[in-house]
Amino acid sequence: MSENQKEEEEEEFDNDLETYLREMEELGADFSDLDDLDLEEIQDMQDAIAKVKEQEALMTNESLSSESEIKNLEISEIKTEIAEENEYLQQKEALTEDFSDIEQIDFDELREMKEAIESVRQEDLTSSSDLKSETTPSQGISIELEEKIKQELLKKKEQKEEEIITPEKFLDYIKNKRDKIWYHALYYLVFNIEDHISTKSLLYDVLKEVTSKSAIDPIPEHQFYFGLGYILRLTLNDKKIIRYMSGGKFKVNVNVNALKDILEQSGEPISTRPVIKEEVKIKMFKDFLKDDFSDI
């Protein structure tokens, strides 16, 4: 894989995650009831949200700083040009006075005047040349600033690069995460959907019961989506396992057969939802029929 392709894939993933996190923020939900989710996954999601905000702030500040410095340079150049032009005009005016009484000037004075006029002409050419040369450093500074920003962004990017996850490492990680929302969703995408593409709303509809911690009620939608978001942080062989597409769709982004093999070794998802025994259900049903609802 070329360096450009790698950078494009990383940029695409950043966009996927940023888009999903933006949608999560738009929900405006209170996540104070997520204590039953994995602490590591919650922390990773919070870090991802913070990363998106940090990148936005960084790009905004760098853009403002660059624009401000360029404007300051332009103003400084204009002031310098005006000062030099005024000085030149003053010198030229002093040397090109009214010489109507030229007949009274002797030969030596006339020669000195001619040399002075020639000197002014040379200064005129030099001044024009200096103005051109002064434009170049300002451009150099602008280019230098732009390069500095690129280097700083590249440095931050390199610092945050994660270790490549091999199939063995991925299997070792997920085999203890089979009760997680994202594992249920990943398993469903791989084994239960023909084209391995699904909307997040469909995933919620089919998994809201099995991923719930309540024996009666389904998992709240915002809580399911928060746990689902971690699926976008999974990588395999330095490639993102899931892509987030327009319309709120999740798509398997790696070789499906290879992913199937890993998930088969790991095992089916585990539901930690409390199970009500049959006799308890019967008792609850009888109690319901006997209730006269007098307390309503």
Looking at residue 65, its amino acid is S
Question: What pLDDT does residue 295 have?
Answer: 59
Task: Give the span between the Cα atoms of 220 and 38, in whole angstroms.
Answer: 17
Question: What pLDDT does residue 246 have?
Answer: 81
Task: Give the span between the Cα atoms of 205 and 185, in whole angstroms.
Answer: 11
Domain boundaries, given as residue ranges, for the chain: 59-159, 164-290
Question: What pLDDT does residue 66 have?
Answer: 59
What's 239's DSSP letter?
E
For 32-63, b/e burial (b = at least 16 CB within 10 A) is eebeebbeebbeebeebbeebeeeeeeeeebe
Task: Give the span between the Cα atoms of 107 and 22, in whole angstroms.
Answer: 85
Cα–Cα distance list, 111 to 94, 105, 205, 242 (Å): 17, 10, 100, 86
Considering only CA atoms, which of 77, 78, 84, 83 is closest in space to residue 127? 84
What's 24's DSSP letter?
H
- A 10 A CB-CB count for 19 gives 16
Region of residue 267 (phi > 0: left; psi between -120 and 50: alpha; otherwise: beta)? left
Task: Give the span between the Cα atoms of 30 and 41, in whole angstroms.
Answer: 17
Question: What pLDDT does residue 32 have?
Answer: 47
Cα–Cα distance list, 164 to 153, 168, 169, 237, 261 (Å): 21, 11, 9, 6, 19
Question: pLDDT tens track of the chain, all 296 residues?
Answer: 555 555 555 566 567 877 887 777 766 555 545 555 566 677 777 777 777 777 777 766 666 665 666 666 666 666 666 666 666 556 555 554 444 444 444 555 555 655 665 666 566 666 656 555 554 444 555 677 667 666 766 766 666 555 789 999 999 999 999 999 999 999 999 999 999 999 999 999 999 999 999 888 999 998 999 899 999 999 999 899 999 988 889 999 999 999 999 999 999 999 999 877 766 667 666 666 666 655 55
Task: Give the span between the Cα atoms of 92 and 70, in whole angstroms.
Answer: 33
- A 10 A CB-CB count for 257 gives 8
Cα–Cα distance list, 65 to 53, 122, 136, 146 (Å): 18, 40, 20, 11
Q: Are 47 and 55 in contact (CB under 8 A)?
A: no
Question: What pLDDT does residue 25 have?
Answer: 72
What pTM, to 2 d.p., does this model score? 0.55
